[in-house]
Amino acid sequence: MTHPIRVAVTGAAGQIGYAMLFRLASGEIFGPDQPVILHLVEIPPMLSALDGVEMELDDCAFPTLAGVVKADSDHLEDAFADCNFVVCVGSIPRKAGMERGDLIRINGPIFTSTGKAIEAAAAEDVRVLVVGNPCNTNCLIAMSNAPKVPRDRWYAMTRLDQNRAMTQIAKKAGQPVSAVKNMNIWGNHSATQFPDFYHATIHGNPVPEIIEDHDWLRGEFIETVQKRGAAVIQARGASSAASAANAALDTIKSIITPTPLGESFSAAVCSDGSYGVDEGLICGYPLTSDGTTWKIVEGQEHDDFAQAKFEATLQELRDERDVVRDLLPG
């Protein structure tokens, strides 16, 4: 029998976590022959809600669900014990009137303890995906507090931005979203991100050759992707949940599946200095995977417009790092 994979999800009773769990349990992500043990992690006041989530998982009778472990956020080492994947969804959301820097400072201690617990208790092959915002800097904090965990194991989610951008491009071109490839996101998962349409393709052809309205590409397209999260909140009265969960699962699938030749996917990873990004920053890049680890796609050139967009999002990442320097050991 195949040894079970252990997957921890923090904020498991929240909307994003809840939307992920059943697909993780079903065999969709890791395959129909791979058993999965889910570690459901929540703050103490939400533990009773986890009981209901566990009942629903039981009631699905998934053949691939090999067990459920419930833990509270006051006992993270128990929560992450022997886990092969940790998906960090739980964080304090931004409230009206709150500056981004305030949010970073509030969430910082959460990810300090998260990183320490992952290092202390998770499996040797653990991989960590941070979804809770601001995810790039939250990931940086957790990684910095787990120095024994290799840096190539840490990811922050930019896939939601990639998926949003792909759909906008497909609609504008009148093509199916499956025709859009290499729609990568540079920098921060924030309103400064740069969705790189220059290197994206539609049916193998560069996007700027198919979509001739370059003013739209440089203007409305980028702005729509950058502000999509706020638009969702305004429309439904709550932040993106199902689409965020879907993007997190897409990220995991892209990490564990070899990338098709000539294609790439988006995630934020620990910079090795590529493209002039400060070494150690968690920055969105175009990536490929061999099914175990990733490589940054090298050799992509940016014109003055693209470089300015990239520099703006990179500077925001530097500014966020400076806000939390006291939480970054070493």
Burial zone of 230 (CB within 10 Å; 0-12 exposed, 13-18 middle, 19+ buried): exposed
| Domain boundaries, position 224 | 159-321
pTM (global) more than 0.75 = yes
Residue type at 192 in one-letter notation = T
Looking at the domain assignment, is residue 66 inside a domain?
yes
Looking at the domain assignment, is residue 330 inside a domain?
no
Is 150 in the same domain as 214?
no
Looking at the domain assignment, is residue 327 inside a domain?
no
Is 124 in the same domain as 164?
no
Is 98 in the same domain as 203?
no
Is 313 in the same domain as 265?
yes
Determine whether the annotation assigns residue 164 to a binding site.
Answer: yes
pLDDT at res. 233? 84
Looking at the domain assignment, is residue 188 inside a domain?
yes
Looking at the domain assignment, is residue 329 inside a domain?
no
Looking at the domain assignment, is residue 326 inside a domain?
no
Tally of structural domains, the chain: 2
Is 290 in the same domain as 152?
no
Is 95 in the same domain as 171?
no
Is 165 in the same domain as 186?
yes
Cα–Cα nearest to 41, from 97, 135, 127, 110: 110
Query: Catalytic amino acids?
Result: 189
Q: Spell out the per-residue pLDDT of the chain, length 330, in tens.
A: 589 999 999 999 999 999 999 999 999 999 999 999 999 999 999 999 999 999 999 999 999 999 999 999 999 999 999 999 999 999 887 766 667 778 888 998 999 999 999 999 999 999 999 999 999 999 999 999 999 999 999 999 999 999 999 999 999 999 999 999 999 999 999 999 999 999 999 999 999 999 999 999 999 999 999 999 888 888 988 888 999 999 999 999 999 999 999 999 999 999 999 999 999 999 999 999 999 999 999 999 999 999 999 999 999 999 999 999 999 997
Cα distance between residue 249 and residue 256, in whole Å:
11
Determine whether the annotation assigns residue 105 to a binding site.
Answer: no
Is 313 in the same domain as 167?
yes
Q: Which distant-in-sequence residues (6+ apart) come within 8 Å of 243 by Cβ?
A: 160, 163, 164, 232
Determine whether the annotation assigns residue 17 to a binding site.
Answer: yes
Cα–Cα nearest to 108, from 144, 79, 81: 144
Determine whether the annotation assigns residue 188 to a binding site.
Answer: no
Is 90 in the same domain as 195?
no
CATH of the domain at 88: 3.40.50.720
Cα distance between residue 296 and residue 33, in whole Å:
31
Is 139 in the same domain as 171?
no
Determine whether the annotation assigns residue 11 to a binding site.
Answer: yes
Is 192 in the same domain as 210?
yes
Q: Which of 102, 131, 156 is the last residue of a domain?
A: 156
pLDDT at res. 101? 77
pLDDT at res. 2? 87
Q: Which of 156, 178, 193 is the last residue of a domain?
A: 156
Looking at the domain assignment, is residue 212 inside a domain?
yes
Determine whether the annotation assigns residue 94 to a binding site.
Answer: yes
Is 241 in the same domain as 307?
yes
Q: Which of 156, 171, 194 is the last residue of a domain?
A: 156
